[in-house]
Every structure is written in structure tokens, then in C-alpha cells.
Structure 1
């Protein structure tokens, strides 16, 4: 999909979460409908794992669940108010400002999470993200992200503003995972036990990996 066909609302995502961070945090809630998937993800990541949370938001409930279960979290987010909430709640973890598309931390992680964040990128920016995932994946690392149920754009609404989402088709996600060394573990479209999320869980197959 060429950039001139992408709905312009995608460019508003960073400022939207800047301006409505407190509302997002309150509306997101602390209940963990994602627990079954998080347990699968953390089982692959292993005990005492280093987790990279791309688009960490306010740190609750997903990063909080990782921390409560003995894992260390490095969170990346483009919203300064969101990161402030994370630092206040979990000062012993690492919270970094940044754009996931340009993430180069120089180290590998046992788990990489891009839950309800990756799907805000337009399709042409989602494809290169698989190189970002690979760059930060330790041997056997877990990768979990959410997407749309099929290829295309979907424009939702948040606080009266347009909220952009996009997705590739399932076959292309599968190809991208495989070409970057990930084996698909589980994929469910619109999982009704998890709020209707479409979820991808994969494991990196590399036996040896150098940080880059």
C-alpha cells in the first residue's frame, strides 16, 4: 500500500495518546482479560525474562503482570505522560521515550510484546517492524502482537477523535515471521475470550544471536 493511500489519521496517534493519557489509563482499567495469552507468552520467554514492551502505554495491566511474575520490563512509548505513569508505578523498570519503528537498543530480549500498539502503524511501516523484532530477539524469544482480522484499515474513535488501525493479511504476517526467524506458535482471529483481539504468538528459532 503506498503512503498516499494511507488514511491521514494515523499521523495523529502520538499526539492523541499525549493529550488523553490520563483518560486512557483510567478507561483501560486494570483487569487482565489477556491473562491466558500473557501466561503463554511468559512461558515461552522463561523465568526471570527480560521483556521488551513496544508501546507500553501506562504500564498496566500487561507490564504490571510481567513485573509481578518476576520479569524485568523495558518499555518504549511515544507518550511522555504515559511514561511518567510507568515510572511512578514501577521505578525499578526501564521506561524509554521512542518510536518503535526506530528501536535499536543494542541488546536482545527473552520476550517482545506489541499488544494494541503495532496495529496503529500503517501497513508499509508494519513490514519493517519484523526486522526490529528480530534485532531484539534472544534465542528462543517469545513475540506476541495484535493485528486486525484481515488486511485493511479501520478507523475507530477515541475521545471524539479518529483512531487509526491497520493490518496486513494473515498470509503476509506468516511470511514475515518466517523470513525473520520466527515460528508461529498460535494465532487466533477475534478471540472472544480475549475481548475480540486477533493475536499472534511466535517463538524465535535462532540458536545463537549477537546483539546489534
Structure 2
């Protein structure tokens, strides 16, 4: 209950928390960094990372167009963002479910296959038989290459989701044993959890990079 009219300007009257001060920073949060005259260090770092990724993906794709790498850099960015968000407590890790990873992998692979078979049919047929294969083994190689091609979206999706599930599950299982441990073992558990969190951070970066690189390699095979 307000004692006087001016108490509405007191931050402590808002549920006993100084949440009113949050409005001071909301302008900087809402305005994108790109609109500032001097880019921030985070913006400069992200631009450098994108430039390095563009150079690497351009070598894998083998084209001179910069627009061809935008899709794969965006794919890496969205997977990396979701992987990082899953490291925070009480936040759902969307990349640990097949419904998310398969949604990313299947349309990419399907679009590559449709483009390749309609525009480069001879090239796609040549991929079914590796160079130097003996004539007697050609039917078997066609079956093996066809199966390996068909399971590509599944392997992309399972690789990402399995790696995300494994680390989070291990951290959860170790964390549930905390109340039953002694003080010394609890300290060791906390150190282990911190090391696992560092490992999960590295896995989040690596898996998003692997997903994007493999997608780039699959697209380079249809040209």
C-alpha cells in the first residue's frame, strides 16, 4: 500500500525488488548493436568468426559466391545458439530432440538430392560407383552407396541429438547424487560438474560446426 503519492517512484515498493531499474537497460537491450556507430567488441568478434567460416565453407563448396555460404553459417548459428541456451538451468534444450534436428537435416538433404538428380543426373549416377571399382563389385557398391546416401539425414540428426543428450544426462545423474554425499565428495562433485560444463560448452561448439560442415560437404557433392 502506498503511503503517499511519491512512493510510486520508490523501487522498493515494487514487490520489494528493484526491478524498476531494469527499464534503464531495456533501451540498450532492444537496440541492435549494428545500429551503433562504433561496433562493440562482441560484434567485431562475431564478424571475424563469420568471415573465417565463410572462407572455410567457400573452400568446401568450391564457389566464388558469398551468398552460397550464408545458409550454412546461419545453420551453424542457430544450432550453436540452441546448444548454448540448453546449458543454462531450467531451459529446454531443443537440439537434444529428433523433432528439431531431423527438421534441420531432412529438408537440407532432400533439397540437395532433388537439385542434384534433376540438374546433374550423370554426376549423381557416377557417385554411386567409386572410381577404380572392379566390375564384379559394382552392383554391391551401388547398394552400399545408395544406403549410405539415404541414411545421411538420420546420421546428422542422431549425431547432434545424441551428443546433446549424453552430456546433459551425465550432469543430471551426477547432480542427483549430491544430497547423499559427504562434504569432501560434494566438493569433488562440484569440481567434476564444472569440468563437465566446460566439456559441454566445447561439445556445443563442435557439434554445431560438424553439422554445418557435413551439410556443406553434402551440397558440394551434387555440383
| TM-score > 0.5 by shorter chain | no
Q: Greater RCO between the two (CA within 8 Å, min separation 6)?
A: 2
Of Structure 1 and Structure 2, which has the larger fraction of its residues in strand? 1
Bigger radius of gyration = 2
Q: What TM-score do the two structures reach when normalised by structure 2? A: 0.29
Structure with greater helix share of residues = 2
Give the TM-score taking structure 1 as reference length: 0.30
